[in-house]
Amino acid sequence: MNTNTKRITHYITALISIAVLVFIDQFTKSLVVAHLKDQPAYVLIKNVFQLEYLENRGAAFGVLQNQRVFFYISVIVITAAVIWFYSKVPMEKKYLPLRICAVLIIGGAFGNCIDRIRLNYVVDFLYFKLIDFPIFNVADIYVTAAAFLLIFLCLFYYKEEDFEQIFPSDSSRQHSSEKKDND
């Protein structure tokens, strides 16, 4: 398989993965609306974890209430940044975790954006009552998991030279062109 075919395959796989993630998020939210809206919380583990319907008109932890334009612009900017980043990441197995993070971020952003477009709010339903953590949803899990994974990868997995392959510095570009001239 040549490099272009391999790259196209990676992009198609990413798009399919994003679609699956968005479908799972939207499916869970449709179940919540059908079974929990206007109903008492469904307790899974007493005083620890429950499913509870919430219409969130803000961002994480309820900040930025009713700022729809901000959220739409944010999704566009985040999507553009992630696509740009994804295009820079080498299509090597070593960088698969970074590509997975990109897919999770886009899947989460689109999942919540669809709610904002359709409903003017995001459906949240997962509640850790034990620690009184803000109610969240599956799309939020995607973004949070990607953020934690990115931090872990940057701190413990990838080295400076790995990032140099993604974002070559001016000195490495110059060294690379000098090496080509000498060959």
Angle between the N-to-C axes of helices 96-119 and 3-36, in degrees from 0 to 180, rounded to the nearest 10: 40
Amino acid at 74: S
Number of H helices and E strands in the chain, helices first, is: 6, 3
Cα separation, 152 vs 97, whole angstroms: 11
Of 117, 130, 1, 133, give the one whose Cα is nearest residue 54. 133
Q: Which residues belong to the active site?
A: 124, 140
CA 80 to chain centre: 13
3-state secondary structure of 55: strand
